[in-house]
Amino acid sequence: MRNIISNQEDPNMENGGENSSVAQEVKVKKTPRKITVLAEHAVNYIKANSVAAKSTAIGFFVFAVILTIIANVQVGYAVVFNNKTIGYVSEKDATLGKIDGIIKELSDSIEGEKDIDISADLVPSFAPDSRFVKEDDIEQIIKSELSFYEDAAAVYIDGKFAFAAKDADSAKDFIKKYQDKVCGDGTILSVESENEVTYRQEKVVYTEVLDLDAAMSRLSGTDSKEGLYVVKEGDTLWSIGIDNDMPTDYLMTLNNLDSEVIQIGSVLRVKYPEPIMDIKVVKDITYTEYHPYETEKRYDKSLNVGTYRTYQKGSNGETRIRATVTYVNNSEVEREITEKTVISEPVNEILLVGTKPKPKTAATGRFAKPISGGYVSSSFGNRSRGYHTGVDWAVSYGTPIYASDGGTVTASGWSGGYGRMIKINHGNGYETLYAHCSKLVVSTGKKVAKGQLIAYVGSTGNSTGPHLHFEIRKNGAYLNPTKYCGE
C-alpha cells in the first residue's frame, strides 16, 4: 500500500501513526508549495508473507520465553533504523508514535526541495536488559542518527518551543538582545516579562537552529501569521493597515510597493506580528509640548480698508514634560505625567485690520472709457504714419473728458504735438494721457476721482479734426487702451 500524503491537502499526515505499522519506508519530498510523504507500511509486507512469518514467530516466542527464564534477557522489538539496530523497546505503538512525530516534524520544517529516505523497522526480538531503552529516549536516538537534527540549545517560552541556537550562551544572548531591542533607548526604570524562559540542550531539527536575526524575528512574531487581502473600492493602504493592525510602511515593505497607489482587485499580503514574549518596560521620559499661538485681529482706523499689518509677532508656548511611560512590546499602555515646567506661554499674534475708507481719488485698478460716444478713427499700434502710442476717438468738439481712473494730475498744459493735454499718475504703476483738448479744467498736482471731469475735446497740436488721443502706460510702456476700457 502506498499513501500519498500532502500536508496541505490531506489531514492523514497527523494521524498517520494510528494505522502505521512495524516498519516505515518514508520519502519526504518538499517543494516550496507542497510536501509529499510516501509511506509504505510493513504491516502489509508481513501479512503478505504470513505463512512463513507465523511459523517463524511461534517458534521465536517459544524460544524467547525459555531464554527469558534462563538468562537476564527481555523480549521486545529491535528498532532498526536505516538498516541499523539502534536499540530495543518493549512498546510497539508508543515507539511508532514517536517515529511518526519525527517524520512530521521533518516534513514541516524542510524548506526547498529535498529527498529524505528513512526506513524504520520494529522487528520482534530479544536482547539483554541493558540494551532496552525507553520509548521517549528512542526519539533522541533517532534524531542523533539523522543529520537533519543538530545538538542545540532549545529555548522554550512558557513551555512551548520557540527556537534553538547553536549553544546555550548564544540562546541566552539572543533573548537578551531581543529584550534590549524592545526596550530601546532612554532611561529605563524597569523591565519585566511574565513569560517563563527555559533552555534545554537537545536534538533540534536543523532549520530551527537560528542565527541572531532569525531568532529576533521569531521572537517579535514578524515571521508569523500571514494572509491575503483583495483590494476593494474605497480602500487605501492606510485603511487596510488600520483594519489589519499594520503600519502603512510595513504593509508597503511586505508587498514591495513603491507608491501608495493600489488597484482595486489586486491582492496584498497582510500579516501582523504577534510577539511570542511580552516585555513590559517602564521608562522615564522628558519632552517638550508646544502650545500654538492664536491670531487676534484689531481694527485700525488709520489703515485703509483691505490693508493689514502685523502689530505683534506670535510665538508658541513651550512646556517641558517629564513622564513615566509603560510600554508592552513597544506599544504605550500608560503615561503618567510626573513634572510640568512651563518654559514660555504662547504669545498671541496681533494683526491690524484697516477700516479707513479709500479716498475717492485712489485708483480702482480698472479703467473707464474717458468719453461717451465717438468712434475709433485710429487704433493703437503700427500704422502707415508710424507707431501709434494710443487710440483716437473722433467725437464732437467740446465733448467732456472724464478721468479714466482715480489719481494725481502730473501734467496739465501744452505739450508739442499733443497740444493741450492732461497726464494722470494712478499710483499703481499706471498713467493715462488725454491729448488735443480744447480746454483743461484741472491743474497739475490735483487729485482726481475716477469719472471726474478733467477737460473738453478739441483739435489742438498735431490734429486734423476734433478727437481725443488717449494713452495708457504701465511703468512707461504703451498699452492698447481699447483692451482696458473698450472702444
Site residues, Zn ion (CB under 5 A):
392, 469
Nearest residue (CB) to Zn ion, 469 versus 473: 469
Nearest residue (CB) to Zn ion, 283 versus 469: 469
Least distance to Zn ion, CB of residue 484, Å = 16
C-alpha cell at 139: 526519539
> What are the percentages of helix, strand and coil residues in the chain, rounded to 5?
25, 45, 35
Answer whether 57's CB lies under 8 Å from 75's CB.
Answer: no
Least distance to Zn ion, CB of residue 306, Å = 36
Neighbours of 295 (CB within 10 A): 10
Nearest residue (CB) to Zn ion, 143 versus 469: 469
Nearest residue (CB) to Zn ion, 139 versus 392: 392
Burial (CB < 10 A; 0-12, 13-18, 19+), residue 127, is middle
User: Which residue sits closest to Zn ion, CB atoms considered?
Assistant: 469
**Which three-class secondary structure state does DSSP give residue 274?**
coil
Nearest residue (CB) to Zn ion, 203 versus 469: 469
Burial (CB < 10 A; 0-12, 13-18, 19+), residue 301, is exposed
Rounded distance between C-alpha atoms, residue 74 and residue 88, angstroms: 9
DSSP state of 343: E
Nearest residue (CB) to Zn ion, 450 versus 469: 469
Nearest residue (CB) to Zn ion, 359 versus 381: 381
Least distance to Zn ion, CB of residue 441, Å = 21
DSSP state of 206: G
Least distance to Zn ion, CB of residue 378, Å = 6
Least distance to Zn ion, CB of residue 421, Å = 11
**Which three-class secondary structure state does DSSP give residue 396?**
coil
C-alpha cell at 415: 505739450
Least distance to Zn ion, CB of residue 403, Å = 19
CA dihedral of 94, 96, 97, 103, whole degrees rounded to 10:
150
Nearest residue (CB) to Zn ion, 215 versus 435: 435
Sign of the CA dihedral 477, 479, 481, 484?
negative
Cα 246–Cα 247–Cα 248 angle in degrees, nearest 5: 115
Q: Which residues pair with 325 in a beta bridge?
A: 283, 335
Answer whether 479's CB lies under 8 Å from 397's CB.
Answer: no
